[in-house]
């Protein structure tokens, strides 16, 4: 049976979420105590990538903006990577059992585009977040992903940081300075063909015809003949 859905995009998205799940900001109290706060990261659509859009202006003014900083990952689009294209007829990821052989034809290279939007309070938090993320891409980050169902080992996937944008949020009623930091990411991956399954050949026979003068041809198995020292075929039976 063939597996038609490898779940590759879901696996790529999960790998990015896992990589960025340790973002944090730090604040120092008047007492000198250092407070560290983890930044929750979740997946959402591009239209819902603004955390505070979940709240009304009244809720925000009453203090709900203290949920910040928060982060959202959204999948934007994908583009064919023609420069990485190889022979489509190559067979990859073969697997053999006692009864079957599994394989799939060559994968199709794509570039997957993601945005991570982090909403935070003030430039102090924004600069901490930018420094954490930006310093890791030198020039890229490598993610190990089991991106197809018949893999024998994980694929090393490059993740690139294409740009960082900082903009103010449109909440004029707030005295707090709320900023959106957007990280544009490019993941260099592939989409995979369905897995083909075929029964394994257990036995095969090759036949040759023995032709004698003035006689009809006689069909014999391949293993029933040999070649003598003069290169003449001789039948064993």
pLDDT value of residue 227: 63
φ, ψ of residue 49 in degrees (nearest 5): -90, 10
Contact 72, 116 (CB under 8 A): yes
**Is 97 a domain residue?**
yes
Which CATH number belongs to the domain containing residue 185 in this structure?
3.30.2000.40
In this prediction, residue 136 has a pLDDT band, given cuts at 50, 70 and 90, of very high
CB of 210 closer than 8 Å to CB of 80: no
Same domain, 158 and 225: no
Domain that holds residue 209: 205-237
Judge if 131 and 228 occupy the same domain.
Answer: no
Residue 202's pLDDT is 62
Q: How many domains does the chain have?
A: 2
Report if residue 33 sits inside a domain: yes
Query: DSSP code of 51?
Result: G
User: What 3-state class would DSSP assign to 222?
Assistant: helix
In the β-sheet with 91-96, what is the strand arrangement from edge to edge? 91-96, 100-105, 196-199
Q: Global pTM?
A: 0.73
Q: What are phi and psi of 229, to 5 degrees?
A: -65, -25
Q: Are residues 135 and 231 in the same domain?
A: no
Residues 145 and 230 in one domain: no
User: Could you identify the residue written with the tokens 């029964």?
Assistant: 199
Domain identity same for 210 and 151: no
The residues near 229 (Cβ < 8 Å, ≥ 6 apart) are none
Residue entry with tokens 């991106």: 147
- One domain for residues 44 and 97: yes
Nearest alpha carbon to residue 96 among 222, 197, 232: 197
Determine, yes or no, domain membership for 2: no
Give the model confidence (pLDDT) of 170-196 as tens digits: 555 555 578 899 999 999 999 988 877
pLDDT band for position 18 (50/70/90)? Answer: very high
- Residue 118 lies inside a defined structural domain of this protein: yes
Same domain for 195 and 210, yes or no, is no
Contact between 107 and 92 (Cβ < 8 Å): yes
Q: Is 3 a domain residue?
A: no
Do 50 and 118 belong together in one domain? yes
What's the DSSP call for residue 161? E
Are residues 194 and 227 part of one domain?
A: no
Q: 4 CB contacts (<8 Å, ≥6 apart)? A: 194
Query: Is residue 1 in some structural domain?
Result: no
215, 235: one domain: yes
Pick 52 or 82 by higher pLDDT: 82
Do residues 141 and 236 both lie within one domain? no
How far is Cα 204 from Cα 103, in angstroms, rounded to an integer?
22
Report if residue 153 sits inside a domain. Answer: yes
Which residues on neighbouring strands pair with residue 220, listed in sequence order?
208
Residue 170, phi then psi, degrees to nearest 5: -95, 65
Q: What is the mean pLDDT of residues 138-162?
A: 90
Which residues, listed in sequence order, are joined to residue 143 by a DSSP beta bridge? 157
Residues 167, 87 within the same domain? yes
Three-state secondary structure call for residue 32: coil
- Determine, yes or no, domain membership for 132: yes
Task: From 224, 64, 92, 81, select the one nearest 150 (Cα to Cα).
Answer: 92
Average pLDDT of the residues in 7-30: 92
């Amino acid at each position: 049976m063939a597996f038609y859905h490898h779940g590759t995009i879901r696996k790529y998205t999960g790998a990015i979420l896992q990589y960025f799940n340790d973002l944090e900001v730090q604040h120092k109290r008047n007492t000198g105590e250092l407070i560290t706060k983890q930044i929750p990261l979740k997946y959402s659509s591009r239209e819902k990538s603004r955390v505070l859009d979940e709240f009304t202006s009244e809720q925000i003014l009453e203090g709900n903006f203290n949920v910040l900083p928060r982060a959202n990952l959204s999948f934007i689009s994908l583009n064919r990577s023609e420069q990485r294209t190889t022979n489509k007829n190559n067979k990859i990821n073969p697997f053999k059992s006692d009864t079957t052989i599994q394989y799939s034809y060559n994968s199709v290279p794509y570039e997957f585009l993601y945005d991570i939007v982090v909403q935070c309070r003030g430039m102090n938090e924004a600069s901490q977040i930018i420094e954490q993320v930006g310093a890791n891409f030198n020039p890229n980050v490598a993610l190990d992903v089991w991106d197809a169902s018949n893999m024998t080992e994980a694929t090393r996937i490059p993740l690139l940081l294409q740009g960082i944008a900082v903009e103010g949020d449109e909440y004029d009623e707030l005295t707090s300075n709320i900023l959106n930091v957007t990280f544009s990411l490019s993941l260099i991956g592939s989409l995979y063909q369905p897995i083909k399954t075929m029964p394994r050949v257990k036995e095969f026979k090759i036949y040759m015809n023995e032709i004698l003068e003035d006689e009809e041809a006689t069909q014999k198995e391949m293993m029933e003949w040999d070649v003598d020292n003069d290169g003449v075929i001789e039948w064993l039976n």
